[in-house]
Structure 1
Amino acid sequence: MWIVELTFTGGPERLAARPAHRDRLVALHRDGTVLMAGPYTDDTGALIILDVPGRAAADAVLAADPYFTTPGVSVTDVREWTPLPL
């Protein structure tokens, strides 16, 4: 699994791009690619958990969504994560 961390700054471009981005996340959740996603409560960023086989697949998910290159959105970290089997 992969954790994607985003940082937000103010700006109308980010807010305008957000509805299409959220629709995409819902579709990716339905197919099992996105396990969880959401903004931090202070709206300074967000966290997305991807269930993909490797870094190239995580990068492909990011590249397919223009939100990740929208002014006001920065991908600050992409790291592999192994959850505990609880």
Structure 2
Amino acid sequence: MTRYVVHLTFGDDPRRLTARPAHREHLRRLQEEGRLVTAGPWADDSGAMHVYEAADADEVREILRRDPYTEVPGCHEVTLLKEWTPIM
């Protein structure tokens, strides 16, 4: 398994916030499954960073596709999907 870092960019559309409870439940399930290492928004709520444990980038793309945030306006884009090799 490989770790992938994802940066998301949020817009001002308030409909994103209506999806937040389902989004966080989705993340909780992924963490329980061992597929999400950590996740959280930037302090200014302009976006978020997620770290996933996955077989490949396509698996991460599928995880993102099923995330409730991707179904509503306000979560504009994945600004970075990059393999990460932590040393500590």
**Number of the residue aligned with 1:42:** 44
**Number of the residue aligned with 1:59:** 61
Alignment partner of 2:9: what SS? strand
Structure with the higher fraction of residues in strand conformation: 2
Residue ranges of structure 2 left out of the alignment (5+ in a row)? none
| Paired-residue identity, % | 41
Which stretch of the first structure deviates more once superposed, 62-71 or 17-26?
62-71
- Root-mean-square deviation (Å): 1.0
Q: Does 1:5 align with 2:13?
A: no
When the two structures are superposed, what TM-score results if normalisation uses the length of structure 1?
0.92
List 4+ stretches of structure 1 deviating above 2 A.
none
On the 8 A contact 2:22/2:68 being kept in 1, the answer is no
Q: Does 1:68 align with 2:70?
A: yes
Residue ranges of structure 1 left out of the alignment (5+ in a row)? none
Count of residues in Structure 1 that have an aligned counterpart in Structure 2 = 85
